[in-house]
């Protein structure tokens, strides 16, 4: 049986998982099976570093249980447990934030990030600093919607477009990153409205992971790390 790319959604929302699975549909033609899993132990949504960190233990367990894994994608923008899972396995492990940034850097000179909540911006900045890519960051802006409005597809899309335009016009972004998993259905609409390339992070991560799998390309696991 062929091994699969395992995508783990570390929140417990199957709606998000379904959205991720739809997002990566165009990559199924590459011939490697892709499975999208939901972390039942995760929170409904990940809105703080604390929530993100608390998904790591169950995510590592879920990952370890996938006997047919050819590689992993951790599908939360924030990449919780990315390096912990790399300590646990020498299969390819891709974080959607890291992959989105690396993809965006090949599509424009300065990337803008559409964040859902303002509180996630300091977390993003810590990550971009750890990645060493702050010279390429145009800006990171939140939608400015309350929880109720986020439930509305129309309001979310409008806010994403408005945020993308602010990143483009005020901050000078020439490529955008959607700072959240599970919203790939808006990618084309934001591209059309902003006339900028838009990176959907789960797509970027799955594409990168499939490349790693085909090329037998992976990190080196720290010896005796587990």
For a copy of itself, the closer of residues 78 and 156 by Cβ is 78
Tokens of 198: 């838009």
Please give the DSSP secondary-structure letter assigned to residue 198.
E
146 part of the interface to a copy of itself, by CB under 8 A? no
132 part of the interface to a copy of itself, by CB under 8 A? yes
Rounded distance between C-alpha atoms, residue 180 and residue 75, angstroms: 9
Q: Which of 3, 4, 22, 125 contacts a copy of itself by CB under 8 A?
A: 125
136 part of the interface to a copy of itself, by CB under 8 A? yes
Rounded distance between C-alpha atoms, residue 206 and residue 203, angstroms: 5
66 part of the interface to a copy of itself, by CB under 8 A? no
51 part of the interface to a copy of itself, by CB under 8 A? yes
Cβ distance 40 to 12 under 8 Å? yes
121 part of the interface to a copy of itself, by CB under 8 A? yes
Q: Which of 41, 54, 162, 193 contacts a copy of itself by CB under 8 A?
A: 54
Which range of residues in 4-12, 67-75, 116-124, 155-163 is near a copy of itself by CB under 8 A? 116-124
Min dist. Cβ of residue 121 to a copy of itself (A): 7
| Residue 44, helix vs strand vs coil | coil
Min dist. Cβ of residue 170 to a copy of itself (A): 10
Which range of residues in 8-16, 26-34, 67-75, 149-157 is near a copy of itself by CB under 8 A? 26-34
Cross-strand bridge partners of residue 132: none
| Residue 35 C-alpha from the chain's centroid | 16
99 part of the interface to a copy of itself, by CB under 8 A? yes
Strand locations in the chain, DSSP E? 4-9, 34-38, 69-74, 93-95, 111-115, 137-142, 175-178, 198-199
Q: What are phi and psi for residue 170, nearest 5 degrees?
A: -90, -40
Which range of residues in 7-15, 69-77, 108-116, 158-166 is near a copy of itself by CB under 8 A? 108-116
């Amino acid at each position: 049986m062929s091994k699969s790319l395992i995508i783990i959604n570390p929140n417990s929302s199957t709606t998000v998982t379904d959205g991720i699975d739809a997002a990566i549909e165009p990559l199924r033609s590459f011939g490697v099976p892709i499975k999208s899993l939901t972390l039942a132990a995760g929170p409904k949504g990940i809105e703080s570093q604390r929530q993100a960190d608390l998904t790591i233990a169950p995510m590592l367990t879920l990952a370890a249980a996938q006997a047919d894994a050819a590689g992993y994608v951790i599908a939360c923008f924030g990449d919780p447990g990315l390096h912990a899972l790399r300590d646990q396995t020498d299969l390819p492990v891709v974080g959607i934030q890291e992959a989105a940034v690396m993809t965006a850097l090949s599509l424009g000179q300065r990337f803008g990030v559409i964040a859902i909540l303002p509180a996630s911006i300091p977390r993003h900045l810590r990550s971009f600093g750890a990645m060493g890519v702050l010279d390429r960051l145009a800006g990171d802006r939140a939608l400015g919607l309350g929880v109720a409005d986020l439930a509305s597809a129309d309001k979310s899309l409008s806010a994403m477009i408005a945020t993308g335009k602010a990143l483009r016009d005020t901050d000078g972004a020439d490529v955008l990153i959607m700072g959240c998993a599970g919203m790939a259905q808006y990618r084309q609409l934001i591209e059309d409205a902003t006339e900028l390339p838009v990176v959907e992070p789960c797509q970027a991560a799955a594409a990168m992971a499939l490349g790693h799998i085909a090329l037998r390309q992976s990190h080196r696991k720290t010896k005796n790390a587990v």
